[in-house]
């Protein structure tokens, strides 16, 4: 039995958006059905319970057939396994009927629209760009709530440079968000901050068993970052088609690879922005305690 609890399946390395803040590296490569089946049949049973599955990309809904295959196979071999599906949202209508039958799927949508807000358990990945005024951020949060979103995953832009003034502004942004969340809670209509239930050794990325589109298995989806491309072998564990021979751990841990891959000023910015997010979460936890 392995220690990992999260299985990340990179269904495609493609994305049809090119968000300026996105650190991902893109390739014209999709996962084969064989690699998908091998990962679910061979890796999932070896993971520590309770395991979760993340259907990832790129933009995973560029391959709705693979999303459907993964959910159908999970329903057969490991029903009720929680599944996360991060997406920009454009492809959601193509899987509406499928998602309606699978309430254990948490859709993380980065562009909030009214349609996606109706999905059970939907989470809004709420990005905070450098330099946004606190009132504007609070206004976006209120607008998303009006659309029906009640679960939020807050993400300051990572792996971009924040100036000291922008970082100070980020602290004010989080203070404003705490006020809004506090008002909702006091009014008996609290929102859920999903960040409070997630932990990782690196900002933004996840530790776990990560099956890339080519079936190779890594210890973190940090391997998807463009800047990590030259170091990706250090995170490699093996191949999904040979699950019995996966290495117990990679040659280097994700935090070290992160350190060696990004320019020092970008890393310093990322850590500072992440520290503001951590302080925001701690303050919310203190209120809840």
- Options 11, 35, 51, 59; binder of ligand SF4; rule CB under 6 A: 59
Q: Does 15 bind ligand SF4 (CB under 6 A)?
A: yes
CA 257 to chain centre: 19
Q: How far is the CB of 86 from ligand SF4 (least distance, A)?
A: 8
User: Based on CB atoms, which residue is closest to ligand SF4, 58 or 243?
Assistant: 58
Q: Does 22 bind ligand SF4 (CB under 6 A)?
A: yes
Three-class SS of residue 112?
coil
Tell me 49's DSSP state.
S
Contact 227, 159 (CB under 8 A): yes
DSSP 75-102: HHHSTT--EEEEE-STTGGGGHHHHHT-
The answer for residues whose C-beta is within 8 angstroms of residue 249's C-beta and 6 or more apart is 219, 237
Contact 108, 131 (CB under 8 A): no
Q: Which stretch binds ligand SF4 (CB under 6 A): 18-26, 130-138, 213-221, 242-250?
A: 18-26
Q: How far is the CB of 15 from ligand SF4 (least distance, A)?
A: 3
Site string for ligand SF4, 74-93 (x = CB under 6 A): --------------x-----
Site for ligand SF4 in 153-192 (CB under 6 A): none
Q: How far is the CB of 282 from ligand SF4 (least distance, A)?
A: 27
Q: Does 17 bind ligand SF4 (CB under 6 A)?
A: yes
User: Based on CB atoms, which residue is closest to ligand SF4, 19 or 247?
Assistant: 19
Three-class SS of residue 50?
coil
How many helices (H) and strands (E) the chain has is answered by 8, 10
**How many residues form the binding site for ligand SF4 (CB under 6 A)?**
10
């Amino acid at each position: 039995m392995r220690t990992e609890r999260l299985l990340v399946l990179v269904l495609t390395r493609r994305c049809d958006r090119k968000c300026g803040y996105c650190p991902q590296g893109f390739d014209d490569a999709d996962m084969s059905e064989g690699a998908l089946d091998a990962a679910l049949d061979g890796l999932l049973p070896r993971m520590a319970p309770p395991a979760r599955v993340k259907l990832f990309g790129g933009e995973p809904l560029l391959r709705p057939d693979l999303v459907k295959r993964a959910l159908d196979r999970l329903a057969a071999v490991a029903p009720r396994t929680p599944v996360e599906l991060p997406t920009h949202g454009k492809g959601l209508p193509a899987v509406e009927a499928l998602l309606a039958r699978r309430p254990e799927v948490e859709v993380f949508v980065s562009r909030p629209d009214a349609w996606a807000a109706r999905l059970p358990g939907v989470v809004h990945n709420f990005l905070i760009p450098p330099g946004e005024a606190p009132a504007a951020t609070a206004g976006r949060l209120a607008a998303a709530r009006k659309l029906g979103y009640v679960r939020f995953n807050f993400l300051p832009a990572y792996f971009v440079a924040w100036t000291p003034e922008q970082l100070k502004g980020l602290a004010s942004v989080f203070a404003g968000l705490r006020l809004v969340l506090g008002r909702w809670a006091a009014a008996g209509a609290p929102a859920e901050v999903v960040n409070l239930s997630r932990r990782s050794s690196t900002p933004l990325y996840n530790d776990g068993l990560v099956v890339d589109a080519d079936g190779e298995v890594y210890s973190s989806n940090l391997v998807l970052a463009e800047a990590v491309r030259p170091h990706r072998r250090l995170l490699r564990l093996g191949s999904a088609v040979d699950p019995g021979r996966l290495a117990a751990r990679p040659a280097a841990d994700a935090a070290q690879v992160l350190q060696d891959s990004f320019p020092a000023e970008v890393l310093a910015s990322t850590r500072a922005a992440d520290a503001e997010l951590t302080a925001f979460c701690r303050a919310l936890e203190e209120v809840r305690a």
